[in-house]
Structure 1
């Protein structure tokens, strides 16, 4: 793959505007993720359990509404769904920032507004995942997905560190306020995007369309196998790395050090993204599941010996592995699922992948306080890698190939 072909998606006007929208939005989100964490921990008497409750409050509405979001995104123009979702996120994040900046934030108010964000994300996420196939030719799916990953991951190299610096210098409220502004700009940048007309079959009920997506999901071996695994993997990541990780960091490498760890993971994502701009990814799920097993390493190190240098190196390796899986999964879905039901299938993917996250977010705080942070983190790191390798026992996962362009659905 030449550099000219790697950058070809940016010559498509619709994709270019969408790319800009995602870029601006990601800039704010990467700072806000660390800001919200420490906004909760700054509350009087806040614990890891309190942080888990706020994170779970965002995830639960996503679990409840994700399938309906997939149906909406298959029925309505996907850019319209994204614009409404972005505007609602701008409003809710702006309210969180105002509460934090004025010192009026309480656990219940942060949890309530996080729940609003989760509800609107339930509609936006399936649309965001499925709209790419309408913006570029099928031959450009790999570079288009890789460019989006590079923009996101490039910003996450600096975003968490900048966010941590803002938190230290000004407090978490300002980072949250910046994120609210980027959600608004992101919605405006989608206005010029024009999607091609979509052919729809006979109108059916939303329940019938959900059933159609479910039938495809449950009868596709590689699809349900990977999603089932990620139900456990994401619960471990959310509970061990994202909930216990900042708590352990606070007492060891510090808040700024935790920002460096998150940025190192993002740098690994970027480095692998550059490689994948030039190298065609064959056997996308074989390589994806094998490589993402490395994401268990920083969890393991947090439990064994949370030194900054070691955590930074393992986070970099984990990021590279996550990028291989991310591209492989997007290609597997976009090349093997009909565009007319792609949002619905992505919604089943998201639902299965996130359904156990609230359990991890809620349970890991008390579990760490009861059994000790170190043993819980060590066991979680080992379990993460073991699950990834177990998935490769499925032949349909190991052997799924890239599809020839002539055979690609849609």
Structure 2
């Protein structure tokens, strides 16, 4: 998590330091993002067919070695074209990591321990999101972007060593009757598509992510530059991180029996900063809304991780989780690419307000699925049996 939080800042400044070109930075970033998204579904199949601790050890090792290669290219001033295949490989390892990391919680915890584990992971993740970019910035300013990327590489190698010390039970040997990898992926899609309570949330977040990432990440700095200023924008972003960290800590203890209704309703508040951004409010109110957005987003994240780990059969967790993440991530570049064109056509403020309103409404749509409203967090730790047929959670 520390490496992932450091990587965007370290890589951005490292590439700009070496090339002084925004085009090269865009090319390197895209070279990592596209393979990452493309390998998510494959990662789900791999993580459900093999021991997740072994998968995570190998993917962390691969990510560390590829980032070490990126650092070598930057430090030795090699041609920047060499960064493209290294970034693509790193994206593949990241795509294979996400489903395994999502599924391993159910291998290590049960009952209320699942929510506590998810909350602790969220707290650590949010802490690194606050400290990681700062550390990367300090390293870049003091010793250069290449060494910051090298520190990022070391963090992945340390993670690989930690995963190597885990020892999950060995999976049973596969027989001739077991499905192929393609069959396993079809099985994951079959379960995902047959569960309205899962795909309804995924569809809502596809809309939410496209609007949030498009408006907040692309138009946000543009609007802030003309209103509150760059320094205040940094305060606003930090306020969201603090809110997320606080919520992650609280969720270690807080339990809601039927959490999906409150979690989705609360998530609608995460769109309020977009509306206020377009309305041109001052820094205080924008930071306050951003803090609340961080709280509710983390509340939903922990609830969703707990619900999916409890109500999806363990053998399908990584494949179904990969479907969830894949279809949630795919619309993000669409939102990012379309936001500037919409801003030219309708104005940045109008797009921000309208985007926030649509994103808020999208969070209520999944509540039309009755089975979603009835989902309970099972304190006993029971889950559907491994051979359960696809069904709606009750």
Q: TM-score, normalised by structure 2?
A: 0.84
Are 1:385 and 2:360 an aligned pair?
Answer: yes
Q: Do 2:31 and 2:84's aligned partners in 1 also have CA atoms closer than 8 Å?
A: yes
Are 1:193 and 2:169 an aligned pair?
Answer: no
Q: Deviations over 1:132-152 (max 9, x none)?
A: 111123341111111111111
* Offset, 1:186: 0.9
* Offset, 1:272: 1.3
Are 1:89 and 2:66 an aligned pair?
Answer: no
Distance change in 2, residues 1:189/1:405 (3 Å)? same
* Offset, 1:329: 0.8
CA distance in 2, matches of 1:181, 1:302: 38
Are 1:129 and 2:70 an aligned pair?
Answer: no
Matches within 5 A, 1:221-236: 221-236=196-211
Q: Do 1:52 and 1:361's aligned partners in 2 also have CA atoms closer than 8 Å?
A: no
* Offset, 1:182: 0.7
* Offset, 1:338: 0.9
Aligned Cα root-mean-square deviation (Å): 3.1
| Corresponding position of 2:151 | 178
Q: Do 2:112 and 2:379's aligned partners in 1 also have CA atoms closer than 8 Å?
A: no
CA distance in 1, matches of 2:127, 2:336: 27
Q: Secondary structure at the match of 1:278?
A: coil
Distance change in 2, residues 1:35/1:300 (3 Å)? farther
| Corresponding position of 2:89 | 116
* Offset, 1:63: 3.1
CA distance in 2, matches of 1:105, 1:313: 45
* Offset, 1:398: 2.3
The answer for unaligned runs of 5 or more in structure 2 is 386-394
Q: Secondary structure at the match of 2:186?
A: helix
CA distance in 1, matches of 2:302, 2:269: 16
Matches within 5 A, 1:6-405: 26-37=1-12, 44=20, 46=22, 55-100=29-74, 112-166=85-139, 172-199=145-172, 202-246=177-221, 248=223, 257-305=232-280, 307-368=282-343, 372-405=347-380
Q: Do 1:158 and 1:263's aligned partners in 2 also have CA atoms closer than 8 Å?
A: no
Q: Do 2:211 and 2:355's aligned partners in 1 also have CA atoms closer than 8 Å?
A: yes
Q: Do 1:94 and 1:177's aligned partners in 2 also have CA atoms closer than 8 Å?
A: yes
* Offset, 1:199: 4.8
Q: Do 2:271 and 2:357's aligned partners in 1 also have CA atoms closer than 8 Å?
A: yes
Q: Deviations over 1:171-209 (max 9, x none)?
A: 654443322221111111111100023457742211221
Q: Deviations over 1:33-83 (max 9, x none)?
A: 344456677765638xx8766554433223322221111111111112112
The number of equivalent residue pairs is 382
CA distance in 2, matches of 1:170, 1:250: 29
Q: Do 1:156 and 1:263's aligned partners in 2 also have CA atoms closer than 8 Å?
A: no
Q: Do 1:290 and 1:389's aligned partners in 2 also have CA atoms closer than 8 Å?
A: yes
Q: Do 2:310 and 2:381's aligned partners in 1 also have CA atoms closer than 8 Å?
A: no
Deviates more, 1:374-383 or 1:364-373: 364-373
